[in-house]
Amino acid sequence: MPGFELFGELERKEVQKVLDSGVLMRYGFDGMRNGQWKARELENALANRMQTRYAQLVSSGTAALTVAMASAGVGAGDEVILPTFTFVASFESVLALGAVPVLANIDDTLTLDPESVRQAITPRTKVIMPVHMCGSLADLGALTEIAKEHNLLLVEDACQAIGGSYAGKPLGSIGDLGCFSFDYVKTITCGEGGALITNNEAYYQNADHFSDHGHDHVGNDRGAETHPFLGYNYRISELNAAVGVAQIGRLDAFLEIQEKNYRTLEHAIQDIPGVSLRRIPDSGVQNYSFLNFFMPTEAKAREAHKSLLAGGVDGCFYWYDNNWHYHRKWDHLKDQISLGKLPHEVRDQLGRMKQQDFSLSDHWMGRTISVLIKIGWTEEEVIDRAGRLQSILRDI
């Protein structure tokens, strides 16, 4: 997920415009800023590219998830269903609101298994949060159905899959709200940053206010603005937004290179006996940021991971053992280890997680290897990598 790989002159130009204006904050200082409104510019470009009515930039992808759910009224004790395979940001964003993360199994898409989602629903469930991990997507058709049936919100975490699509629609635009991260290692980056998109005007207005201390943004005197409700500070700076303005203009070019490199690696491994590719839901299109495949057994996956690294194929991940992306190492969540006291709703409702059976997830994750796709590789480097992948996996 390498926006930083092709970082250069275009980004410098946009940042320079902000530095020249002298206004680093996205709100206010109208007279001083020489017409530079980089956060607004990026919001417009993002909404346009994602075919939604609204986009709200914030300080990170984690903030985007928090603000998205807050904007739709998620609060203390509400349950949010999310997958066992995701980044810790998913449950952090839920806990930040006093809400309760509920884990559901993944299937061979490496994202939420619709049947496990059904089983996880309780009278307190408010949100289903599919996380489109490693460049591909959840079965949004099935999850949309479940959300409608139970009157739940669908909040897409598309932080790792910007540019992918489902049934012709950009990922992030299908749920009630969708979230992106523009941190340093995502397909496009602001350095740090994130955004939510939605077609719901009320959610957008709430997000706009909530992410800036509750400011209603009426008029041009910040001190005189009113605060219709409590908020917080999740603002992005103009400097970060400026980098994103340059990067979003390059998104489709990045995706094209990503897919080309992905296809070369995919071609090299697809016929190797025992190796099978992750399932992409019907009418889904990945953003091709990772090549994800299953080995026939956990032991073979471990061996493949070791051999690939030893064989000079860097950027390979065995998530099953990873501290940050898979439930097995989330003891701090399961044991509720926090600096301060957690809300009683979280303490009461989170306890059952330790007894839950995630063997279905382990079945898939224990056998999964993900190979990062970079866009800075030369053609020779991609061909060399494909050859190494093929010969190493064939020997296992």
Ligand X SMILES: Cc1ncc(COP(=O)(O)O)c(C=O)c1O
Q: Which residues bind ligand X (CB under 6 A)?
A: 60-62, 86-87, 89-90, 131, 157, 159-160, 181, 183, 194
Type and span of the H or E element at 203? helix 201-210
Smallest separation, CB 61 to ligand X (Å): 3
CB distance 396 to 303 below 8 Å: yes
We find the least distance from the C-beta atom of residue 89 to ligand X, in angstroms, to be: 4
Residue 40 to residues 6, 46, 376, Cα–Cα distance (Å): 24, 10, 29
- Phi, then psi, of 359 in degrees rounded to 5: -65, -30
Active site residue 186: yes
Rank residues 107 and 183 by Cβ distance to ligand X and give the closer one: 183
- Closest separation in Å from C-beta 34 to ligand X: 29
Taking the least distance from each CB to ligand X, the nearer of 131 and 295 is 131
Rounded to a whole number of angstroms, the minimum distance from the CB of residue 87 to ligand X is 4
Say what angle helices 38-49 and 238-248 make with each other, to 10 degrees: 30
Q: Which residue, chain included where needed, has tokens 């939604």?
A: 52
What's the rounded Cα separation, in Å, for the pair 324 and 224?
43
Residue facing ligand X at closest CB distance: 61
* Cβ proximity to ligand X, 189 vs 264, nearer residue: 189
How far is the C-alpha of 191 from the C-alpha of 18, rounded, in Å? 15
Q: Which is nearer to ligand X, 183 or 266 (CB)?
A: 183
CA distances to 52, 135, 289, 314 from 186, in Å: 21, 10, 9, 17
Choose, from 148, 169, 186, 374, the residue flagged as catalytic: 186
Rounded to a whole number of angstroms, the distance between the first and last alpha carbons of the chain is: 28
Catalytic residues: 186
